[in-house]
Amino acid sequence: MLEDVRENVEVKKLIETSNDCLKQLGYTEHGLRHVSYVSKTTANILTALGYDKRTVELGAIAGWIHDIGNAINRAHHGLTGAVLAYDILIRMGMDAGEASKIIGAIGSHEEETGMPISEISAALILADKSDAHRSRVRRHTADRKDIHDRVNLAIKKNYLAVDSAKKIIRLVILMDDSSATIEILQIYLSPMALSEKAAAYLGYWFELVINGNVINRRRPATDVKRKAGETEVSED
């Protein structure tokens, strides 16, 4: 279960080390806050789409350990993380078939090498790529002029929602004028393209809404308020 994985000493150390390594490289937060968000949001997506409880649990586990490969190297961290995860899960007593589903999702979540290959994989991609927010910016880098920090600091609120009636998975972002839409697209274009593929795998359309404007669809948003039939699935 997720709680078993969360309490595993190896997993804790790998998450801690991964976050420390990325801190040295100047990346935004990838520690407990991020993995908790991705774990919960992956589970919420699968729940909203009607998947069974065990699939939801496996998605939550995948979300919790999806970034442990960063302890080795940022490049291809999904692939190395999958290898690390399989060994840990098997030693913990998980069924090999279930462990294989989890590592398939972990190994496929990077935009450089990944593609949605299962419902767990698709939900993990959507959850991971939706985590853009000022709370991810590290205090010691908040005053630098890096575009990643500038964009994330500008984001006041975001949420990911499933609109079952219209078959849309919608990421809504509200940002102030300390950054611009063109900047968020510069750094999030590849993740958003992968999110479109992930939503399509699940039979949905991915819609990106920034300050009330639908970025990837030729249809204006009437407002950014939650719509009827729409279920928020992201969790801070």
Per-residue 3-state assignment (H helix, E strand, C coil) for 124-135: HHHHHHCCCCHH
pLDDT at res. 228: 60
Do 103 and 85 form a contact (C-beta atoms < 8 A)? yes
In order along its 236 residues, the chain shows pLDDT tens digits of: 999 999 999 999 999 999 999 888 888 878 899 999 999 999 999 999 999 999 999 999 999 999 999 999 999 999 999 999 999 999 999 999 999 999 999 999 998 888 999 999 999 999 999 998 787 787 766 565 688 888 888 999 999 999 999 999 999 999 999 888 899 999 889 999 999 999 999 999 999 999 999 998 655 444 445 566 678 888 66
**Same domain? 38 vs 146:** no
Indicate the number of domains in the chain: 2
**Same domain? 117 vs 49:** yes
Domain harbouring 53, CATH code: 1.10.3210.10
Determine the Cα–Cα distance for residues 112 and 24; give it in Å rounded to an integer: 22
**Same domain? 44 vs 107:** yes
**Same domain? 143 vs 108:** no
Query: Of 129, 151, 167, which marks where a domain is finished?
Result: 129
**Same domain? 116 vs 147:** no
Determine the Cα–Cα distance for residues 78 and 107; give it in Å rounded to an integer: 4
Query: Of 107, 129, 151, which marks where a domain is finished?
Result: 129
> What CA dihedral angle connects 200, 201, 203 and 206, to 10 degrees?
-30
What residues contact residue 35 under an 8 Å CB cut-off, 6+ apart? 15, 63, 64, 65, 66, 67
**Same domain? 102 vs 208:** no
**Same domain? 150 vs 125:** no
What residues contact residue 9 under an 8 Å CB cut-off, 6+ apart? none
**Same domain? 149 vs 105:** no
Domain carrying residue 173: 135-232
The token pair at 131 is 């985590």
**Same domain? 89 vs 184:** no
pLDDT at res. 41: 97
**Same domain? 67 vs 140:** no
**Same domain? 42 vs 111:** yes
**Same domain? 6 vs 97:** yes
Rounded (5°) CA angle 131-133-136: 85
Query: Of 79, 95, 129, which marks where a domain is finished?
Result: 129
